[in-house]
Structure formats: structure tokens, C-alpha cells
A = this chain, B = another copy of it.
């Protein structure tokens, strides 16, 4: 968008509000009117700044995907040893998850949209994963991690990290836990995950 020149506070406010309703409150079929009300602005401004509802949502989605990629790269390119890499990744995830717990879920629900598949630079991904997988295999050789296909290890790790957050309503309800109780459980996840993954 090249419309805004001096005052883009409204522009940012709309995006921020849309993200909040989508990624934090999980209201995936929120209307433009609801976004406008939550932002305390006139609904027409959404069309003024973003042309259409779809354009706004597309922007927010792309932004979310880029954040995911950024996180993914971070874990590989840092020169920390494996354990510290994973710890950093966990901290980073929980930090973002506190703000936007449903970001990944929303991305999944929008994955059919073709516009989302263009991003992944395949060569880049290949290099990323291969580098990280080698590090994992090396760590398995050393006996610090149980031997398995690296991709399976990553799936285990990502799963244990993300699912208790993104399915919190279902899980909290299933075990009949109060907010505080579930918060405490989440606060212990980092340690639990690390202990589950590393043998020593």
C-alpha cells in the first residue's frame, strides 16, 4: 500500500487489531465490522487502507507465515549447541505464543489459499533442514539424543511445544483445569520437553 503518507497509526492499528482477533482470540471468521469496532475506528477505513477485506487478511496471513519462517531460520543459523538452540527456540515460541497462541492454527486453516505456497524458497529450506538434521544425527551418535529419523525428532519437539498451547481450550476443558492450573502446567513445559528429549 502506498496510500498512507504521514499518518500510518490507523493502518498499523487495523493490522494489530486483526491479528489480535485472529491469532489471540481465535475468531477466524471475524467480520470487518467487528475488527473496526474492536479498533474503535470506522469500518470504511479498512477499505481505505487495504482496499478489501481479502487484501487485509492476506497481508496478515503473509506476515504470520514470515514470522514462522523467521523462527525456523533462527534455530538453525545460531551457532549455539543443539540443546541451547532448542532452549532458545522454546523461549522464543512461548514468548510469541503468549501474544498469538492461535497463529499456527490460523495458518493451517488458510493453507488451501494458493498465495501461501509461493513463499518457501525450496533450496533454502533444503539447506536449512539438512544442516540441522546433520547436527541432530551427530548428537544422536554421541548418545545425547535417542536415535531416530531427524524429521521424527523435529516433529516430536514441535508437537510437544505447540499443541498444549494451540489446543489449550480443548485440553483445559478435557481435564477440567482452571486457567491458573493450566498456566502452571505450561510454565513447566520447557523443562519437561527438554527432559523428554535429552537422555542425560
- Residues of chain A touching chain B, judged by Cβ–Cβ distance below 8 Å, are 26-29, 68, 72, 104-105, 107-109, 111-112, 116-117, 120, 122, 125-126, 129, 146, 148-149, 151-152, 155-156, 158-164, 166-167, 169-171, 173-176, 185, 188-189, 192-193, 195-196
- Asked whether B192 lies within 8 Å of A156 as measured between CB atoms, the reply is yes
Of B125, B155, B161, B185, which is within 8 A of A164 by CB? B155
- The distance in angstroms between the C-alpha atoms of A129 and B122, with both chains bound, is 45
- The distance in angstroms between the C-alpha atoms of A152 and B192, with both chains bound, is 7
- Asked whether B170 lies within 8 Å of A107 as measured between CB atoms, the reply is yes
Complex A-B: 22 CB contacts under 8 Å: A26-B109, A28-B109, A29-B29, A105-B108, A107-B170, A108-B167, A111-B169, A116-B173, A120-B173, A125-B174, A125-B176, A149-B192, A152-B188, A152-B192, A155-B164, A155-B171, A155-B192, A156-B160, A156-B196, A159-B160, A159-B161, A196-B196
